[in-house]
Structure 1
Amino acid sequence: MNPRIVAVTGAFGVLGEVVATAAAAQGARLALIDFNTVPPDSLVEACGVDALVLTGVDLADPEQAGAAFEAVGARFGRLDALLNIAGGFRWQTLEDGAPAVWDMLFAMNVKTAANASRAALPWLRRSAAGRIVNVGAAGAVKAASGMGAYAAAKAGVHRLTESLAEELKAEGITVNAVLPSIIDTPANRADMPDADPANWVAPADLAEAMLFLASDKARAITGALLPVTGRV
């Protein structure tokens, strides 16, 4: 059986590294795409010398997204799954926050997912089981104070997921999203030192959910917004 070809955006971040490492452990061949220019050594080691590592890619720019996925197609000849993890977060109230943050979060979350998905489509169509899995947010279902800009951006990811699922369902390409609550990352632990991270979502658990949706076993699921919320 040919190994699955999986592209991970935001691959150098905490969640991206865990997801890519888990995919590699399942036998996938990886395309690792990130805006940052230096990948973690542990990620490169886990994914092997065959992994395609694309650094300094601004997926909010459609031309850069197109070039990245042309490189993926040139290396592997097809793409079986796109895992859109690239994104960003800011907490700010509307009154005291910077208006530019709204544009920034839209670009980091919605435009990156849309541009990557568009650029990946020609290669996903070469797969017998094409999959797109986005990362939304449980906090975009009902937004808390200070979450307006972030929740609005992630709500855009939710609507993109639903719309693209409808566009592609006749072709057998599924599009789904996971909706995590607080992910257990070093940054979140530093920002919330009094919270109990045992109640949060472990990156490995979120990776399992994403890789299931990216698998052939999830062929009957499309347009789903799957809550992955731990005990929050």
Structure 2
Amino acid sequence: MEMPTVEAALVTGGTGALGRAVVSRFLADGMAVAVTYFSEKEWRDLAAAEADASRSGKLQGFRADLTDEAAARGAVEAAVNSLGGLRVLAHLAGGYAGGVDLEQVDVKTVRQMIDTNLLTAMLAAKHVIPHAKRSGAGRLLFISSRGAIECYPGSGPYAAAKAGLLALAVTLSKELKESGVTANAVLPSVIDTAANRASMPKADHSTWVKPSEIAGLLSYLASRGAQSVSGALIPIYGRA
């Protein structure tokens, strides 16, 4: 049976600093892109920055709480209906809370870290996988963190959730081995964003990894030429 040739990606958390770089790169690669977002302003800013793609329908946005399965399913279905299919999932959605040792951590923070970083990935992947399989060359990409393996003090719930993404990528690579779908995780160090510069003004920002560098790596992993790369846990640390 001939496989669909739709070149389309869903980028979760696509309106942040990293998300904007990834969306821009995917569009430049010729893909149609759907993003999920929380902030209407961030979505409007992204759509304005990518005005040509927005006007042509190659960039679509859907507001969704990906910790809710019905919302995650709805976002995937909306993306498929809008773009004609999905071949790539780039899961960037997540968040950080930390700074205290585990004995002082409240359950709310633990659940927040697991839900925003790991549950969102599982639900997005669950509903993208059938479409990725139909493409014959599906790609599941997860943004984890250097902190998932180096596990800095005060970051227990975050590190555990991001480590879960590594296990998820490896598991999916094995579950989907015969389907043509690959699954990989990328582990950035500190990303050079305005927010990170503001929170760490005395750090040497020149050593941090650029969003465009991460976007370039994801571009390759999303390509049809990356069919032999699956189950990889790829560090991208800059000089940090």
Alpha-carbon offset, residue 76 of structure 1: 2.4
Q: Which residue of 35, 44, 48 maps to 2:54?
A: 48
- CA deviation vs aligned residue, 1:13-67 (integer Å, no higher than 9, x gap): 1111110011111211111111333334442131422122102x01111111001
3-state secondary structure, aligned to 1:126: helix
| Alignment partners' CA distance in 2, 1:24 and 1:77 | 16
Give the TM-score normalised by the residue count of structure 1.
Answer: 0.95
CA contact (8 A) 1:178 1:227 kept: yes
RMSD between aligned alpha carbons? 1.6
1:120 aligns with 2:128: yes
CA contact (8 A) 1:181 1:229 kept: yes
Give the partner amino acid of 2:133: R
- Number of residues of Structure 1 aligned to a counterpart in Structure 2: 231
Q: Which residue of 27, 35, 38 maps to 1:35?
A: 38
| Alignment partners' CA distance in 1, 2:162 and 2:65 | 18
3-state secondary structure, aligned to 1:79: coil
Structure 2 gap segments, 5+ residues each: none
- CA deviation vs aligned residue, 1:70-126 (integer Å, no higher than 9, x gap): 111212232111100000011222233333111101000000100000011121122
3-state secondary structure, aligned to 1:27: coil
3-state secondary structure, aligned to 1:208: helix
3-state secondary structure, aligned to 2:122: helix
3-state secondary structure, aligned to 2:220: helix
Write the mapping of 1:59-208 to structure 2, written as runs, cut at 5 A.
59-93=66-100, 94-208=102-216
In percent, how many aligned pairs have the same letter? 37
| Alignment partners' CA distance in 2, 1:3 and 1:18 | 22
Alpha-carbon offset, residue 3 of structure 1: 5.9
Alpha-carbon offset, residue 165 of structure 1: 1.0
- By percentage of residues, which structure has more helix? 2
Structure 1 gap segments, 5+ residues each: none
List 4+ stretches of structure 1 deviating above 4 A: none
| Alignment partners' CA distance in 2, 1:218 and 1:100 | 39
Give the TM-score normalised by the residue count of structure 2.
Answer: 0.91
